[in-house]
Amino acid sequence: MSTPTKEVSIGLKSAIEGVSTRLKHLQSPIEEVSTHQKDLKSAIEEISTHLKESNLPLKMSTPTEELYIAALDSDDFLYLKEQMEAEEDAEHLLRRTEKRGFQAF
């Protein structure tokens, strides 16, 4: 016969294992987002260098504007924008999962 304390302990252990498993599954997308961040940074630096070398009279205040002008006639900008949104979604999901994991304690 199990005691209520033992049942709660088993339930908590199961919840912690579930959260741990979910966090492990999130690790891969987070690493993928990190790789995309590095790729985006590299692309922005390349575009910025190209724009500076071209001596175009463009004044831009953000890297997104630089990307937009450089990729105006292509789907690259849309792809990069989708990747940035996916990164934000993954970060939000991670924060929400971590919050639920801590609430389980």
Q: Residue 36's pLDDT is what?
A: 78
- Distance of alpha carbon 105 from alpha carbon 10, whole angstroms: 12
Given a contact cutoff of 8 angstroms between Cβ atoms, the answer to whether 23 and 101 are in contact is yes
Tell me the domain boundaries of the chain: 4-104
pLDDT in tens, 47-64: 878 777 776 655 655 777
Report the 10 Å Cβ neighbour count for 35.
10
Q: Residue 74's pLDDT is what?
A: 65
C-alpha separations of 28 from 17, 33, 48, 66 in Å: 18, 9, 30, 30
Q: Residue 57's pLDDT is what?
A: 56
DSSP 61: S
